[in-house]
Amino acid sequence: MRIRAGQGLIVIMAALLAGCQPTATTDPLEGLSAEQQKRKLFDQIEARYEVPQAHYKLGQIFESEADLRKAGYHYETAADFKPFFWTAQAASVKVYEDAGNLDKAARLEAKWATMAANVDDCLSLAKAYESAGLTEQAKAIYQRVETVAPGSAKGFKASGYYYLHSGDKATAEEKFRRSFELDPYQSDVSAELGKMGVIVQSPRKNGTGFLERLFGGANKPETVEPDAGGNQTAAPKQ
């Protein structure tokens, strides 16, 4: 069978395009019963224990079956692996609270907090707590950011949004102000402060690189002008 040049080109192009299509990844647990899923996950763990996703999935299955003790064990196991599995850490605290084991939940909360050693870790853990509905634990980690990274504009900004969404506008404004002081080139922080009625001035560099930042109510710098007698007097502040 002869294929004309034009037809051949079309066939080649179609084959190339087909080869470029992404292949759909299937969940190996999809369509399996809970018992079948558990057997498959336990087989994975037996072959290689350090599989945090397998432990986490087992935790979810056991939690759905109201076996909170086993769920807590697997969440805690998943959370111990590096890089730290923040979602599993939050889940472990929540499931022990739900089980009424408040001492265990508190011990894990303290343990996970010590593992959050930098601003990114703190924010990851805080957001995981928020997603799990653990608002007090999230608040504690946002407060920890100020100790771990007192010079982080990103940390104070995230804290500001937490308080804003919690309805505490006064504390949110305080955190946004501090974030802006640390990095005045944040349009989103400036916008939030503007909504709160805080007037902010874009930073301006002089010859020495000094940044002027003005919040609402701040005094403008004095200017010096000569009076009629030739003496220099400070011009009145605006």
pLDDT tens readout for residues 103-118: 999 999 999 999 999 9
Tokens, residue 87: 């979602």
Q: What pLDDT does residue 16 have?
A: 45
Task: Report the distance separating Cα 103 and Cα 75, nearest Å.
Answer: 16
Q: Evaluate whether 79 touches 106 at the Cβ level (below 8 Å).
A: no
For residue 150, whether the previous peptide bond is cis, meaning omega lies within 30 degrees of 0, is no
Task: Report the distance separating Cα 115 and Cα 86, nearest Å.
Answer: 10
pLDDT tens readout for residues 167-219: 999 999 999 999 999 999 999 999 999 999 998 876 665 544 444 444 554 44
If you average pLDDT over residues 150-177, what whole number do you get? Answer: 97
Q: Find tokens 């944040």 and name the residue.
A: 186
pLDDT tens readout for residues 33-74: 899 999 999 999 999 988 999 999 999 999 999 999 999 999
Within 8 A by CB and 6+ apart from 116, the residues are 122, 124, 125, 141, 144, 148
Question: By C-alpha distance, which of 53, 98, 61 is closest to 78?
Answer: 53
* pLDDT of residue 25 exceeding 60: no
Domain boundaries, the chain: 34-117
Tokens, residue 166: 């919690």
User: Domain 34-117: what homologous superfamily?
Assistant: Tetratricopeptide repeat domain (1.25.40.10)
Locate the DSSP E strands across the chain: 224-226, 232-234
